[in-house]
Amino acid sequence: MKYRGARIFLEALRCEGIDAVFGYPGGAVLHIYDEIGKCGTELGIKHYLVRHEQAALFAAAGYAQATGKTGVALVTSGPGGTNAVTGITNAFMDSLPIVVFTGQVPTHLIGMDAFQEADLTGMTRSCTKHNYLVKKVEDLAPIVKEAFYVANSGRPGPVLVDLPKDVTAAVTDFNYPEIVDVPSYKPQVYGDPKQIRRAVAAMMKAKRPVLYIGGGAITAGANEEVRLLAEKLNLPTTCTLMGLGGFPASHPLSLGMLGMHGGYWTNMAVNNSDLLISIGARFDDRVTGKLDEFAKDAKIIHVDIDPSNIGKNVKTDIPIVGDARTVTKQLLTELANQLEAGETIADKSEWHQQIADWKEQHPFWFHQDGDIIKPQYVIKELHRLTDGKAVVSADVGQHQMWTAQLYGFDNPRNWLNSGGLGAMGYGFPAGMGAAVARPGETCVAVVGDGGFQMTLMELATIKQYNIPIKVLVINNGFLGMVRQWQEQFYAHNYSQSDIAVQPDFVKLAQAYGVPAFRAEKVSEVTSTLQEALNTPGPALIEMKVAREENVFPIVPAGAALKDMILQ
């Protein structure tokens, strides 16, 4: 069958099982939008018209984070592509599988400074896993096939495909490849057997071990294997911000989150461990604090599918390159073999007691007094009312850390946020993408009044498509995390962090046709949350909270984990 390139593009998406595309039209992609209007529904592809290209990328990322499937965004040339770069970089840093299709000027005008021309493959080379410029229509289907394979294999990441307008207009036969073979790209899945044996022997001997889970364990679907490994070896287990839900928060072995805003007991356990077993984490600076003080008495086992991550930030004693789920299965098999051979597991009762003592000394703490709403109380109530089972996305800032500390995620892919890039504005459109991906589930975007104002125009999108996302605005009238740092480290000099001049969010949502609710005192919190959560379709909830509440613990920049500020 002969099709023009625009139809071939949609047929390729159909072959990949894509059911949702988040995008914004423009001149360079009008052939594609013409085909979407003609046959998108017939092909099972629903397009969601966002109100800004950055939101399209964040929504595609939320879709991918909530499912593990590849998210898709479609934008036009020039400013459409440049507006997408923040979202592309976010997906790159958090290893999220998305394929971004950008329009481009016709091939004969490339390099001529044509209207809305931008070198999108050049400018995204450092923030994509790979990118392509399609130069002829015959290459379009094979490139799309390869793009999806690269995006969601090995260590996932964003792939960009730049589509010149004349390529989408040209006609050729549609033949979609069945397999992909990229000779230079062969991700290593299985861990080295010798290293597996060394790792298990070290785990069995360790008296003060900590299992440290990152987002890579969730990406690999390793949560059940990780749980079994922890239980069989009686391992206290901590998760990074991106790894929350990779190990159940309610499990007796759970230590919660570590790092800059991790629990006191968690950071002390890591700091005093004799063996740190990392699966799918990259030892970023928000976890380690001062590097030469990080777990300095511990041997380190590091499992990661990306060999460039191993040894990059900390010295690794037992490196294992491979897929987190596959390697954890190998570890479990080797553990069974060593136990059958008569090897024993070291007693850890004193270690668990020490951790329990640390937790009793300095638990997560807040005091809800008077009628001023504490944001921590809102998160605790949200957890109670949703039974801890909601899909929760977060923006970036204090509310993100309170949610990470207090919501308690028992399942993977229920916690979505911008971890590596820390992009404000992420929470709302990411939650929108998650709600599209997981219909019938409760999806809540917890956002600050600062970050929300960066993407609030997507209220129009959720109204247009009746996307049932609940937007919970934690409103303190400040750029909260900036203000906290200014209070603690800059002598209370609140320079340009006061954003009390802002719209009435309830009236604004109502202007978009979205039901909206507000609580201004403690007695209104529960009923307001209940009413909004029970409202069909989208809804906005504004919580007017204490203006100068702080997130604790906090590890100051450049300090060691043991040097936490507690309260």
Tens of pLDDT, residues 137-165: 999 999 999 999 999 999 999 999 999 99
Check 129, 165, 374, 380 and give the catalytic one.
165
pTM tops 0.75: yes
Whether 507 is catalytic is no
Whether 135 is catalytic is no
Per-residue pLDDT 10s for the chain (567 aa) are: 899 999 999 999 999 999 999 999 999 999 999 999 999 999 999 999 999 999 999 999 999 999 999 999 999 999 999 999 999 999 999 999 999 999 999 999 999 999 999 999 999 999 999 999 999 999 999 999 999 999 999 999 999 999 999 999 999 999 999 999 999 899 999 999 999 999 999 999 999 999 999 999 999 999 999 999 999 999 999 999 999 999 999 999 999 999 999 999 999 999 999 999 999 999 999 999 999 999 999 999 999 999 999 999 999 999 999 999 999 999 999 999 999 999 999 999 999 999 999 999 999 988 888 899 999 999 999 999 999 999 999 999 999 999 999 999 999 999 999 999 999 999 999 999 999 999 999 999 999 999 999 999 999 999 999 999 999 999 999 999 999 999 999 999 999 999 999 999 999 999 999 999 999 999 999 999 999 999 999 999 999 999 999 999 999 989 999 999 998
Cα torsion for 472, 473, 476, 477, to the nearest 10°? 180
Cα torsion for 489, 492, 497, 501, to the nearest 10°? 160
Check 203, 424, 432, 481 and give the catalytic one.
481
The DSSP code for 116 is T
Report the C-alpha gap between 540 and 543 in whole angstroms.
10
pLDDT tens profile 194-251: 999 999 999 999 999 999 999 999 999 999 999 999 999 999 999 999 999 999 999 9
HEC letters along 334-367? HHHHHHHCCCCCCCCHHHHHHHHHHHHHCCCCCC
Q: How far is CA 302 from CA 248, 326, 420, 448, in A?
A: 21, 14, 19, 35
Give CATH for domain 193-361.
3.40.50.1220
Q: Which residues pair with 237 in a beta bridge?
A: 211, 254
pLDDT at position 567, please? 83
Check 112, 115, 489, 531 and give the catalytic one.
115
Contact 374, 366 (CB under 8 A): yes
Report the C-alpha gap between 66 and 421 in whole angstroms.
18
Whether 165 is catalytic is yes
Whether 424 is catalytic is no
Give CATH for domain 2-173.
3.40.50.970
Check 53, 146, 334, 549 and give the catalytic one.
53
375-558, which class in CATH? alpha beta
Q: How far is CA 199 from CA 87, 203, 280, 289, 471, in A?
A: 37, 6, 15, 25, 44
DSSP string, 418-460: --SS--TT-HHHHHHHHHHHSTTS-EEEEEEHHHHHHHGGGHH
Same topology, domains 2-173 and 375-558? Answer is yes
Taking each helix axis as running N to C, give the angle between helix 398-406 and helix 480-489, from 0 to 180 degrees, rounded to the nearest 10: 100
Domain positions in the chain:
2-173, 193-361, 375-558
Check 116, 338, 354, 510 and give the catalytic one.
116
Report the C-alpha gap between 426 and 58 in whole angstroms.
6
Whether 116 is catalytic is yes
Count other C-beta atoms under 10 Å from residue 430's C-beta. 36
